[in-house]
């Protein structure tokens, strides 16, 4: 066993212990509820664009993108574009290290605001970014994404648009089958299910109607995916508990 392999082995044991620590989970949950009340995840940027993600999840996505070496990343939900730029930057780094030279990220949003589109298209990472405006579950949008995925060797999918059960379930049905074996479909904001209902007074989603309920409903219909609990047990602080789905078949 190499020193690195020994380090990894020790880490796996420590991560498993973290995941089994109920007191630590309770402390993490209390911290997240307090931080989310102040819109914690809205305060970070990637290469000059708001990313609206936890730093912990950004690190997790870096690890996945390096491990998978995707030649296509599909993201639903664009907002200010920080996540697209992050993914494009990771693909650029992969290419510089011998990974897929023409890898790209495809972003979908029902409303790409003009100022956000302009900022994304003017960014140095723009050459790896494509965008489609329209509902992510509209048949014509799904068809365009499937066409773009044709011939790709390794596809990674991130779902982060409308967070209702029905919408996320439809996204999973449309896009999870595009994920290559060994890659991931990451369902963001599953944490909604674990948060107080009072946090969403003006939203159509909340506990009982969330990405997590959709995810578990989808898993009842397929044996192709499993939840990779090692990721959220490692992160502890994440918007995607149970949301890192690894394709196994």
State what percent of residues in the chain have pLDDT above 70: 100
**Mean pLDDT of the region 164-189:** 98
**Confidence class of residue 200 from pLDDT cuts 50, 70 and 90?**
confident
Mean pLDDT in residue range 30-46: 94
pLDDT over threshold 90, residue 70: yes
What are the sequence ranges of the domains in the chain? 46-97+115-196+203-247
pTM (2 d.p.):
0.97
* Cα separation values, 10 from 6, 52, 61, 234, Å: 6, 32, 22, 13
First vs last Cα of the chain: how many Å apart? 29
Would you state the pLDDT for residue 100? Answer: 98
Q: Which tens digit of pLDDT belongs to each residue from 41-56?
A: 999 999 999 999 999 9
Between 196 and 116, residue with greater pLDDT:
116
Per-residue pLDDT, averaged over 176-195, amounts to 97
What pLDDT, on a 0 to 100 scale, did the predictor assign at position 234? Answer: 97
For residue 38, what pLDDT is reported? 92
Residues 6+ apart with CB under 8 A from 40: 54
pLDDT in tens, 113-154: 999 999 999 999 999 999 999 999 999 999 999 999 999 999
- Mean pLDDT for 209-229 is 98
Phi-psi region of 179 (alpha: psi -120 to 50; beta: other; left: phi over 0): beta
pLDDT score at 72: 98
pLDDT surpasses 90 at 197: no
CA distance 118 to 154: 29
Looking at the chain, the whole-number percentage of residues with pLDDT higher than 90 is 95
Q: Which fold has domain 46-97+115-196+203-247?
A: Rossmann fold (3.40.50)
HSE-CB at 93 with a 13 A cutoff on CA atoms is 11
Q: Residue 72 and residue 74: Cα distance in Å, rounded?
A: 6
| Average pLDDT in the chain | 97
Contact by Cβ (8 Å): 239, 191 = yes
- What tens digit of pLDDT does each residue of 146-160 get? 999 999 999 999 999
**Other residues' Cβ atoms within 10 Å of the Cβ of residue 57:** 23
């Amino acid at each position: 066993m190499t020193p690195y392999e020994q380090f990894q082995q020790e880490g796996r044991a420590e991560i498993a212990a973290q995941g089994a620590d109920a007191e630590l989970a309770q402390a993490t949950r209390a911290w997240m509820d307090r931080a989310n009340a102040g819109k914690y995840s809205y305060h970070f940027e990637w290469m000059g664009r708001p990313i609206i993600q936890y730093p912990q999840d950004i690190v997790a996505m870096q690890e996945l993108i390096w491990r998978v070496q995707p030649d296509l990343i599909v993201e639903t939900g664009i907002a200010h574009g920080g996540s697209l730029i992050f993914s494009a930057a990771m693909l650029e780094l992969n290419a510089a290290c011998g990974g897929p030279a023409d890898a790209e990220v495809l972003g979908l949003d029902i409303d790409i605001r003009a100022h956000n589109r302009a900022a994304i298209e003017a960014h140095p990472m723009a050459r790896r970014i494509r965008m489609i405006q329209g509902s992510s579950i509209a048949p014509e949008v799904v068809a365009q994404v499937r066409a773009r995925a044709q011939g790709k060797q390794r596809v990674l999918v991130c779902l982060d648009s409308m967070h209702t059960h029905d919408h996320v379930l439809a996204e999973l049905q449309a896009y999870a089958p595009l994920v290559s074996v060994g890659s991931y479909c990451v369902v963001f904001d599953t944490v909604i299910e674990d948060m107080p209902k009072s946090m969403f007074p003006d939203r159509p989603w909340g506990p009982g109607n969330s990405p997590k309920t959709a995810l578990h409903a989808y898993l009842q219909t397929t044996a192709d995916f499993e939840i990779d609990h090692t990721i959220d047990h490692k992160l502890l602080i994440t918007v995607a508990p149970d949301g890192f789905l690894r394709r196994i078949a």
